[in-house]
Structure 1
Amino acid sequence: MSDASALPYRPCVGIMLVNGDGLVFVGKRIDNKEGDAWQMPQGGVDEGEDLKRAALRELAEETGVGEELVTVIAQTREELLYDLPNKLVGKLWGGKYRGQRQFWFLIRFGGGDSDIKLDAHNPPEFNEWKWVAPDTLPDMIVPFKKRVYRAVLEEFHDLI
C-alpha cells in the first residue's frame, strides 16, 4: 500500500471488562506470532448496528460472557483512532482500512471466572486470558495501540 492515508478507518468498539476487584480482562491474541500480545476485547461494528449492541456482541463472541452477566457503566465521549503500522496495512481487514476508529465501553462483570469461555466463537481470538491491574494495560499492548489504551484508562479511571 503506497498511501495508507487515503484509506478510511474501520468502525469498531472496544470493551474494558472489569471484575468486582477492579481488575481488567485481557486476552492473548492467537494470531500474533511476534510475542506476548495482550488486549482487551474489541471488534468491528456492522453497518447500522447500535454501538452498545456491537460491544455486547463482541464481548460474547470473544469471551463467552453474555449480557446477563454484565452492566454497561460508560462509553467514551469521543471515538479514539489508531493507525496500523505500514507493514500491516493491506494485510488486515482485506486491505480496506488504515486503522480503526473506536468507541470504548466500560462494562462491569458480575459472573465468575468459569463464565469466561474463549472458545465461544469459532475461530477464537484469544488462547489465554487473565485479570490485570488497569495501570498495567499500556505496557501489555502492541505499541500502535498504546495511545488509545492510555486515553481509555484516563476517561474510565474514576469509574473502574
Structure 2
Amino acid sequence: MYRSVAAIIVTRKPITPAMTATAETANVGNTNNVQSLSRKPNEFLYLFVKKPRLHNAWQFPQGGMDLGETVSQAALRELAEECGTDIKVRLMDQEPMYTYQYEFPASFVRHKKRNFIGAKVEFIGAEWISGQCKPDGDEIIDFAWLSRHELDDYILNQEYKNLIHRYMQ
C-alpha cells in the first residue's frame, strides 16, 4: 500500500515594480539570497524546502494526508505546518495536476516500522500572494525560492526533477 501525500507547488510569478514592495516585505537578506522573494523579478520562482536528511532533502512542501482530507486541504495544511502561517497563497486548482509514486527503501520501511511500501504524491499548484516561508526547524530546516535553472544544484532525484521541469515555466 502507498501512503497518500499532498504536495504544494508555490509559484512566485514575475513581479512588477509595483509588486516589489510586497515581495520586499517578505524578503530575507539581499536579492542574491535564495530566500529572497524580490530576487530575479523577471522570472518565475518556486518554493522548495529542505528536510533534515542527507538524500533527496529538497522538495516542494508536502506531507501525508489525514483521513477525510482532500489533496488541496492537506497541501494547505502542510504548507502552514512546515512553512508557517505568514505565507499566503491562492490555489490554482482544487484537483491535483501531477502524481508521483515511488517505493521507500527497504531499510526505511524496517527502521520506521511503516505499513506503507511507498508514497503516492499528488501535486496542487498555488500562486504566492504575500508573506514568507518560516521553516518550523523540525520537519523543515531551510528553504529557497528557485528558478528552473537553479534546480540542478538542489534536486538530485532525476525522476522528481523531470516532473518538476514539466510544470515549471
Q: TM-score, normalised by structure 2?
A: 0.69
Whether 1:117 aligns to 2:110 is: no
Q: Does the 8 Å CA contact 1:81/1:148 hold for their aligned counterparts? A: no
Q: CA deviation at 1:127?
A: 1.4
Q: CA deviation at 1:18?
A: 1.2
Letter in 1 for 2:60: M
Whether 1:133 aligns to 2:153 is: no
Question: What stretches of structure 2 of length at least 5 have no aligned partner?
Answer: 15-43
1:110 partner SS: strand
Any residues of structure 2 matched to 1:8-47 within 5 Å, and which? 8-21=1-14, 22-30=44-52, 32=53, 34=54, 37-47=57-67
Any residues of structure 2 matched to 1:37-76 within 5 Å, and which? 37-65=57-85, 69-74=88-93, 75-76=95-96
Q: CA deviation at 1:142?
A: 4.9
1:70 partner SS: strand
What is the rounded CA distance, in whole Å, between the counterparts of 2:59 and 2:74 in structure 1? 18
What is the rounded CA distance, in whole Å, between the counterparts of 1:37 and 1:106 in structure 2? 21
What is the rounded CA distance, in whole Å, between the counterparts of 1:17 and 1:77 in structure 2? 13
1:79 partner SS: strand
Partner residue in 2 for 1:99: 118
Structure 1 residues 135 and 84: alpha-carbon distance in aligned structure 2, compared to 1, 3 A threshold: farther
Partner residue in 2 for 1:3: none
What is the rounded CA distance, in whole Å, between the counterparts of 2:98 and 2:144 in structure 1? 28
Q: Does the 8 Å CA contact 2:86/2:133 hold for their aligned counterparts? A: no
Q: TM-score, normalised by structure 1?
A: 0.73
Partner residue in 1 for 2:22: none
What is the rounded CA distance, in whole Å, between the counterparts of 1:108 and 1:51 in structure 2? 16
What is the rounded CA distance, in whole Å, between the counterparts of 2:140 and 2:9 in structure 1? 15
Question: What stretches of structure 1 of length at least 5 have no aligned partner?
Answer: 1-7
TM-superposition CA deviations, 1:34-89 (whole Å, max 9, x none): 3682221110111111111111101111111468x211114444532011223322
Structure 1 residues 50 and 66: alpha-carbon distance in aligned structure 2, compared to 1, 3 A threshold: farther
